[in-house]
Amino acid sequence: MKIGITERGDAGLDFSWMKYKGYKILITKNPVELLKNCYPSDFNNSIIHCTITGLGGTVYEPNVIKPTEAIDAYIKLVEMLGVERVVLRVDPIFPNENFWLNYHKPIVEQCISRLRISFLDMYSHVRNNLHNLYINDKHKNIHADLDIRLYYLNKIKEIYSDVEVCGEPDIECLGCISERDFKSLGIATDKIKINKNKQRDTCKCVGNKFELLNNSQPCKHGCLYCYWYS
């Protein structure tokens, strides 16, 4: 039993995933294009992650659609597929009061489905890309200090208690493909395989995951915090 995922690119920009008719997790920052280019039947056996940080169209996400457009499309997908098969993915969250109040909080407040979050990973190339655009004394390492991440996680839980956290050290996490996804897709949980080839210790994904896209370069969104070394 395999479950495909579009982690290497964006399912709303690269539609090569459509060739695969099996179970899949589709991750996109452009759910508008997803709706425009697909029939409802194309989402059979699928869970869709709508990544909306609130930063679309800003210098941080210059080529990402505006949050209002993304939220409208996200709501349509929830109406189409239900609350368990659509995930509002606020990823990454900049653990900073200005970003929280002006960008992330307004998005979390509109969640009507599952909710997933993770915090900004400050790799050296990301730090260079951001320059003086983001300064935080508690973000001297790749991960911000635990106390500040927990501070914002608790703020999120005050708004929406059922939060899935992805890839955060020292915080309870749930993989992008988890037992919850198996149940949402109607797959027996005895099909779950242990992940023995994790790239990161914090990854909690099951071993059934495989990449659906063949991209070997950053996508066209141009996000300054992209994990691609650019």
For residue 72, tell me if it sits in a domain: yes
DSSP assignment of 103-171 equals IIHHHHTT--SEEEEEEPP--HHHHHHHTTS---TT-SSSSPPHHHHHHHHHHHHHH-S-EEE-S-TTS
For residue 223, tell me if it sits in a domain: no
Domain that holds residue 185: 3-211
Give the chain's radius of gyration (CA, Å). 17
For residue 218, tell me if it sits in a domain: no
Tally of domains within the chain: 1
For residue 169, tell me if it sits in a domain: yes
For residue 103, tell me if it sits in a domain: yes
pTM: 0.94
DSSP 61: B
For residue 216, tell me if it sits in a domain: no
Query: Measured between alpha carbons, how far is 172 from 155 in angstroms, rounded to an integer?
Result: 16
For residue 217, tell me if it sits in a domain: no
For residue 136, tell me if it sits in a domain: yes
CB-based contact 26:213 (threshold 8 Å)? no
pLDDT in tens, the chain (230 residues): 889 999 989 999 999 999 999 999 999 999 999 999 999 999 999 999 999 999 999 999 999 999 999 999 999 999 999 999 999 999 999 999 999 999 999 999 999 999 999 999 999 999 999 988 998 888 989 999 999 999 999 999 999 999 999 989 999 988 888 889 989 999 888 787 776 555 566 677 776 788 899 876 788 999 999 987 64
CA distance from start to end of the chain: 35
Question: What is the CATH classification number for the domain harbouring 47?
Answer: 3.80.30
Query: Measured between alpha carbons, how far is 90 from 213 in angstroms, rounded to an integer?
Result: 22
In 3D space, the residue among 46, 12, 45, 4 whose CA is nearest the CA of residue 28 turns out to be 12
pLDDT digits (tens, 9 = 90+) for 141-166: 999 999 999 999 999 999 999 999 99
